[in-house]
Structure 1
Amino acid sequence: MKNLKITALLAVMAFSPFYANVFPTEGTSFVKVLADAVKWKAETIDVGTIPQGKPKLIRFEFTNTSSKPIIIENVAPSCGCTTADYTKTPILPGKKGFVEASYNAANAGAFVKTVNVTTSDSKTPKALTFKGTVAAS
């Protein structure tokens, strides 16, 4: 019974307003800092109509807006019909880098594909999207 009272008291203290202001809430948020480190020229590109069976190169460009170099650690296309290339060297503050996707459409019709990019600045992948329509050949 004594252990139950102690546990209940600790639970009440854990959720009390005393602990509500442990972390500062003013200033720049952590999420905003991560979001501003890489500024993409476009996160979605509409490629329009492309021919079936002929690779289409899509280029996503970005600027390093942070105060430290950024390295692209991983680029993962959403399907096997897409290959990717990217800036392999560190991108210095204020400089530009790129991610390229080469899409080879086997089927006619509308499509939406993504390329997930992970950088040294954020371990959460950024989804870059390209879309369009494949015209039958």
Structure 2
Amino acid sequence: MTMKKLSLVLLASALMFTACNNNNEENTNGSQDSTAVATTQEGAGRMEFEEEAFNFGTIKEGEVVEHVFKFKNTGDFPVVLAQVSASCGCTTPTYTSTPVKPGESGEISVKFDSNGQVGQQQKIITIASNAEKPVTTVQLKGEVVVN
């Protein structure tokens, strides 16, 4: 891993830990996290997500939300997901562990446990890979109300 990629991954990891207790703030402009800086590589894979944000609406505290973010590799080389992490311990991602060949699809499954998470929610899932954009994010949004 190059020093530039390592720096991006470390910066994204540091930022994700500060977002866990940030329940009442929401990214209202819909833009991607500024840490997901694109880098240009020759012959890289490219992850194109069907959706970059999922709004689960309003749920009662204690409910568990599950969602699958699907992506297609539209690049020229296989994409390998090196690490997928969430902004809070209440959110657990699992992901495709085998290389995703050009033209094929992969997925990141996310489970959000709303126990103790009352209010507006925005959970960031950070994806580190060997793709053209080595660090990218997807997010879960919604509101948790008292049971």
TM-score when normalising by structure 2: 0.66
- Does 1:117 pair with 2:117? no
**Correspondences of 1:1-137 after superposition (within 5 Å):** 31=40, 37-105=46-114, 106-122=116-132, 124-137=134-147
* 1:107 CA displacement: 2.6
Identity of aligned residues (%): 29
CA contact (8 A) 1:118 1:126 kept: yes
Question: Structure 1's 32 and 134: CA in aligned 2 closer, same or farther, altered over 3 A?
Answer: farther
Q: Which amino acid aligns with 2:101?
A: L
d(CA) in 2 for partners of 1:107 and 1:116?
20
CA contact (8 A) 1:48 1:133 kept: yes
Unaligned runs of 5+ in 1: 1-29
The one-character-per-residue Cα deviations of 1:75-124 (angstroms, maximum 9, x if unpaired) are 01001111110011111111111111111112322111100001122474
d(CA) in 2 for partners of 1:44 and 1:100?
13
* 1:54 CA displacement: 2.1
d(CA) in 1 for partners of 2:43 and 2:68?
22
Count of residue pairs brought into register by the alignment: 108
Question: Structure 1's 37 and 56: CA in aligned 2 closer, same or farther, altered over 3 A?
Answer: same
Computing the radius of gyration from Cα coordinates, the structure with the larger value is 1
| Bigger helix fraction | 1
CA contact (8 A) 2:128 2:136 kept: yes
Unaligned runs of 5+ in 2: 1-38
- Secondary structure of 2:88's match? coil
d(CA) in 2 for partners of 1:34 and 1:84?
28
d(CA) in 2 for partners of 1:107 and 1:77?
15
* Higher RCO (C-alpha under 8 Å, 6+ residues apart): 2
CA contact (8 A) 1:34 1:121 kept: no
TM-score when normalising by structure 1: 0.70
